[in-house]
A and B are shown apart, each in its own frame.
Chain A
Amino acid sequence: MNSKTLTLIVAGLLVVIGLTKPDLSSLVNRKPTPVVVNPVVFEKPTDSAILAKCDDVITSLKAGNNDRYEDGKRLASLYSDMATLLELDGENMIVRNTSEIRQANSLSGAMLKLDMKGKYNGLGKACEAVVLTAIGTDDSVNLDEALRAKAVSGFKALAWACNEGSK
């Protein structure tokens, strides 16, 4: 590239800048933007019956190989998100009944390609038992305020258990 061509390019850029008048202040006054990290806190369930069922989840994961570090964290994150989803009510309501909990969970597992079939002995049954204990039924019923709260607590407990099992 000769100097004439370079001059033309610079001139062209100046013309474009002159015409569009972009705000270039951010290029000269750059301030560091703080990165806000919200660490997910997994709370230990207080209900003794749910806690007992969580023990089976932890045991199942801990009996697995080293993949459990990653798998446990992924599951904990999923169930934490499920709890958030279940909490949505009123105009934001997505999950209306217990059947839709099943569908949401099953779909989430498929979407995240969480195919861990047989990897952790009895993990699915153990997870099922936590949710069943929290909700108190596997009948197809609408979620009223109380039942929704129970479902949320079940998935939060499950998130805690999976996180514990990952350690």
Chain B
Amino acid sequence: MIQSLFYFLSFLAVLSALLVITAKNPVYSVLYLILTFFAIAGHYVLLNAQFLAVVHIIVYAGAIMVLFLFTIMLLNLNKDAEPQKSNYLKFAGMLAGGLLLLVLVAGLKEVGTNTQVVLKDSSIGLVENLGMVLFKEFLLPFEVASILLLAAMVGAVLLATKDKEVKKA
């Protein structure tokens, strides 16, 4: 039952990911991307990583997608007026992607040949356990991540504000 749920979620994720890159209208792309993110969150729940599933939904579906939608709406891009690449280039891109898939699958084929995903310690994905690891082993990266987010915030505000001095010149 839950095994078939895995295959259903995988199918949903791959299908909506394909629709993301083929949809003409950027707003539809964003909506399909949200669908992909929910499918991936379902995978996290299946792997018993509840903390990651919740954080994934909050960060991606809650914050990042709203940012994308606002940018598309504010720039008034919700029309399918995107100039297309030539079919020749598209075919070359798909061929390159297919070959990359071939190489990745062939290269990783021997890694875990039919080994089943056994949850050795099923509590590793819970908030309690993950918090202990995060604040003991990974305390420095955690603090550095806060500096990164601060820098990103300052950078985003700085980039998005109109530069008045350049306009005068």
Is A bound to B? Answer: no
